[in-house]
Each structure stands twice: as C-alpha cells, then as structure tokens.
Structure 1
Amino acid sequence: MLGLVMCGKHVRTARGAAAMRNAPDAFMLSPDGWVPNNAHLPVLHYHNALPIRGGDPAAGMEALFTANGWPPRWRWGVYDFHHYHSTAHEVLGIIAGSAQLRLGGPGGRLVTVRAGDVVVLPAGTGHRNEGSSNDFLVVGAYPPDQDFDLQRGPITRAAITVMGRLPFPPTDPVQGRAGALTRLWHPA
C-alpha cells in the first residue's frame, strides 16, 4: 500500500499502517429525482488524507493522485449547481479552504470538506458547492482512460449503459492498490 506525505516541498511515501490509518467514511446515495447516483458503489470521504503544507499544496495532492494511478486534470472549485458525470469516476482533493458540498442531488447529503480531505465520487453521483470559503481550491482527477462529461438533467438510457460498463479503477487514489476503494468497490 502506498500513500504520500508532504515533507516541505518534497513528497515521501508512506507504506502499510501509516497509509492505512486514515480510513474513509463510506456511504451510499439513493437516486434523487433526476440525479441517478450510483446504486452499487459508495462515496468515499477521506478526512485529512494529506497534510497541506508548502508553497504549492496542489502539487502534493497531484503527486498523491499520480502515484496512485489517478492522473490529475484540473485545479479549480466545485460548480454551484447540481451535476454528475456519467462517463467517469471522479476524485476531489481539497487543497485550500473549506466548503459545504451537497452530494446526491437536491435532497442529498450535506458534507463539510476541508483542506487535506479527499472525496471519491462514483460515476452518477450528484454534487454541488452550497457555500465555500473564498480560498476554496480543489484538484480533480479521474481514472486513466475515463473522460468526464457534465450532466445537468435526467439520465438517459445510453448514460446508464455507459455507467454500467465503466471499469473499476485498479487503485484507490489515496491508498493505492490495497486501499479502501479496491475493497469497497466491486461488481453488484
């Protein structure tokens, strides 16, 4: 099992118990109106997954995701409207500030995220920023060979088919090959 720890401007690996000490909260979300969520895969919320230090904390989160096989794609925030991705699983690494994210659609779960947290969203999971600090910043990443779409309306049969065929990532973006995702995400 591989995890990364920031040491000044450098990243070092943590193996075994050190990388495992931070088990995520895992929870399922039921469909909510037009938001499908994912009937088979739980959302994973790692609290304080990576200590945020140094002049470029995003680089540490990007290094963690890269080392664990989830190539980073962007640095930004989370949209303030409900949406989901039908063509990719997504990981959000919080690198600055805090936010209240509504996960699962308008009637979904309100989750507080802070710098250092990581949230893994299975394809179909609704999410929205319901309020954040001015410095809120996120690194977004996806499994290899998965490109995300942006859905803001009812799911189509074609999108359901695509979601059902998405491969499971071989690694957890925080804990690597032996991480929680590899134990908690499996075929129905």
Structure 2
Amino acid sequence: MPVDRRRFVTLLGVIALMPLPRIGFATPREVAMETLLIDKPSGGVPNNRLPVMIYHRVIPPNVADNADYLEHLFRSNGWPPQWRYPVYTFTHFYSNTHEALGVFAGSATLQLGGEKGKLIEVKTGDVLLLPAGIGHKQISADEDFMLVGAYPPQVKADLCHDEPSQLAARTKAVSAVPLPASDPVTGHSEGSMITWHTK
C-alpha cells in the first residue's frame, strides 16, 4: 500500500526519535595510565620530581603500521618523532628535555632511575613519557623490540651518562627544563597536562 507524503514525513520523525542500538556508536578505546615517581638522585643521575608517565594500550587494534601510528600521534600532539631504535643498554638521561618513547614492536625490561633503579616491563602499545633527568637503560629485550622516540619541538637532546662529578650541574639544568606545552599521547588534556602541572 503506497504511503502518502504526509504520512512518510511523520514516519521519518518517529524514526528519528527512536533510540539507536549501541552497535551504532563507537566505543571509546581505553588507554590506561600509571605514574612512577623517581625523585631521588642516584650516582650521577639527577632524576626528577615529576613522575614518569606510563600509558598502556595506546595503539588501537587492527592498525596496519604501529610505528607510523605512533609517529602520527606524537606529531599531531606537538612532539615531532626523531628516531626508531631500541633503548641503549647503558644508563643515560637527558638534562635539557623530556622524552617520549613509544613501543611499536616486541617487549623489554627497562631500568629507570639509575643503576639501582626500578625494573619495569614494557610491550607493544606502551608509551613512556620520561621527565628530563630520569635515568634509563635496557636490561633485556625481544629481538624485534623497537621504539619511536620523540621530544618537544626544536629540541636537540643532550645525551648524558651516569657521571657523579657532573650531578650538581645536570641537576640544575634539569630543574630549568620547562613543562611541555602538550602531552604526546593525550594532547592538551589529561596525562601529564594534569599530573605534571599540579606538581
């Protein structure tokens, strides 16, 4: 039976008011976050009063290229990616910049805070946001373990070693590093935008 124009328009209005099934909506992807405070110096490593930010499940399922995804995410949030590489197997840190490390393949055990620091496990999809001065090194890793590394714009990171004689100067340099304008994972909200700015 044909429907006249007036009845058709009324029917459309009724349909528009009907609740849609949940399958019609995208469900937000959960990115879990934790913090790790390493604020005491260790040997020649100054560490930082700002906590390390650790994000989990940053890469969504079914991404074609994990490294490309992380590079695009970092770049779009104001953290230009600089390299793809694992973590050095000696304790090191940067006294002039914070650093974002995104795991795009494999897993590893890292030590944070210096030679007596905490061991943490990282795997594909994890992102670490290390404050300036936080010592880190790779203890063990899968053969395919790889990261994307990024820094705030226009920063040339200074690679510092665990040298106790340099601790005072490097602690002073670390304390002068400004807070970043954005978070590499969350952009201008959440993450370090809340946690670091309330310290």
Q: How would you bin the TM-score normalised by the shorter chain?
A: 0.7 to 0.9
Structure with the larger helix share: 2
Matched, 1:120 2:120: no
1:1-57 CA-to-partner distances (Å, cap 9, x unmatched) read xxxxxxxxxxxxxxxx936x424111111222221110x200011111113654532
State the Cα distance separating 1:167 from its structure 2 match: 1.4
State the Cα distance separating 1:145 from its structure 2 match: 2.6
Which of 99, 106, 112 aligns to 1:97? It is: 106
Distance 1:56 1:122 in 2: 27
State the Cα distance separating 1:179 from its structure 2 match: 2.0
Which residue pairs with 2:172 in the alignment? 161
Code of the residue aligned with 1:140 in structure 2: it is: G
Secondary structure of the structure 2 residue equivalent to 1:185: helix
Kept in 2, the 8 Å contact 1:80–1:129? The answer is yes
Give the TM-score, by structure 2 length.
0.79
Sequence identity of aligned pairs in percent?
Answer: 44
Which residue pairs with 1:106 in the alignment? 115
Which residue pairs with 1:178 in the alignment? 189
Larger radius of gyration: 2
The number of residue pairs the alignment matches comes to 170
Gaps of 5+ in 1: 1-16
Gaps of 5+ in 2: 1-26
Deviation above 6 Å: which 4+ runs of structure 1?
none
State the Cα distance separating 1:105 from its structure 2 match: 0.7
Distance 1:58 1:71 in 2: 13
Distance 1:72 1:140 in 2: 6
Which residue pairs with 2:14 in the alignment? none
Secondary structure of the structure 2 residue equivalent to 1:62: helix
Distance 1:148 1:162 in 2: 12
Comparing 157-166 with 112-121, greater Cα deviation is found at 157-166
Which of 116, 136, 143 aligns to 1:134? It is: 143
Distance 2:172 2:198 in 1: 15
Distance 1:57 1:36 in 2: 32
